Structure 1
Amino acid sequence: MGLAWVVLAPFSAIAQEFKMGFVNTERIFRESATARQAQQKLEQEFAKREKELVDAGNALKTASEKFEREAPTLAESQRAARQKTLLDQEREFQRKRREFQEDLNARKNEEQQLVVERANRAVRQVAESEKYDVIFQEAVYINPKHDITDKVLRALNGGAK
């Protein structure tokens, strides 16, 4: 028994010096000033296009409902022409909606990447100043005493002002 204690004692001392932490990235994206600023920037940038899409969708819906009501009283050639026009308008609307979503997703990814870069700098700052050996961002379980998300948020929000 005495030999085991002699062998394990150095490892015990090393383990006590090892300092680890955990950062909840979901909270960083939800609560950091940097992430909120990025979200506001995106909303402002895409608000006009979104409103135009909503208006176009409502106009298309109204035109479609009007056609449905009037279709039984229209001549076959008029009905076919209006139906073709509605189909063309629907295709154009879907194309614009897809483009909007693709543009929004691309910009969202760009803004999220900036938030990640700033958050990583804040994590490094906290880790270096408080002498952490390792910081985890993903874990199945973490003891709350190792969660340094609040410290990172303070560092990140302090740097965002």
Structure 2
Amino acid sequence: MKHKFQWRRTLTAACIVLASVSGSFGAYANDIKIGVVDTERILAESAPAVRALKKIEKEFLPRDKEIKEMASQAKALQELLEKDGKTMPEADRRNKERDLANLNREYQRAQRQMREDLSLRQNDEVATLQLSASKAIQIIAEAEKYDLILPLRDLVYRSQRMDITDKVIKALADK
């Protein structure tokens, strides 16, 4: 009961403070300039993001080819065992089954390692891009005298004229 009373008292005090401040705040509200930025679009569409994606694809292409080659070897060995396994000598069949099991293990290990390495590289590139984007946003905010710039992802509503994403993407392209 005491807790409810304290909660009401705090809420009432907060309302009184807000009511008294809102009168003086109204005069400053017209001077505040707020912008929003779509970070997901920047990470997907900006020139540095596109370059980073191409760089990573080029970097991981040889490993991807190697893994695909392992998969085709395993498939060929599996098909051979299915086709001729019953007619080949027991020792040959066991050797081929062991080779297939080893190849499958190696394939899974290589795939897992590539996924981990790819994830690390992508995270590095995203971190670099976020840093560049933050600098570009700060430069735009200072040049155009913004008081506040918010990320778009958590907003319920925003006016299109507040969105500076295209300006940030252009600023990053100019670098």
Give the TM-score taking structure 1 as reference length: 0.89
| Contact 2:42–2:169, Cα closer than 8 Å, also in 1 | yes
Give the gaps of 5 or more residues in structure 2.
Answer: 1-19
Residue 60 of structure 1 pairs with residue 69 of structure 2: no
Distance of 1:143 and 1:63 partners within structure 2: 60
Compute the displacement of 1:9 (Å).
4.8
| Deviations, residues 6-46 of structure 1 (Å, cap 9, x unaligned) | 98553212111111111101110121111011111111111
Matching residue of 1:40: 54
Please give the residue correspondences for 1:63-102 in structure 2 after superposition, counting only pairs within 5 Å.
63-102=77-116
Instruction: Pick closer, same or farther for the CA change 1:49–1:18 going to 2, 3 Å.
Output: same
Matching residue of 1:146: 162
Residue 105 of structure 1 pairs with residue 122 of structure 2: no
1:52 is matched by which residue type in structure 2? E
Residue 157 of structure 1 pairs with residue 173 of structure 2: yes
Distance of 1:72 and 1:118 partners within structure 2: 62
Could you tell me the percent identity over the aligned residues? 38
| Contact 2:77–2:96, Cα closer than 8 Å, also in 1 | no
Matching residue of 1:14: 28
Count of aligned pairs: 154
Matching residue of 1:3: none
Give the gaps of 5 or more residues in structure 1.
Answer: 1-5
Matching residue of 1:49: 63
1:116 is matched by which residue type in structure 2? Q
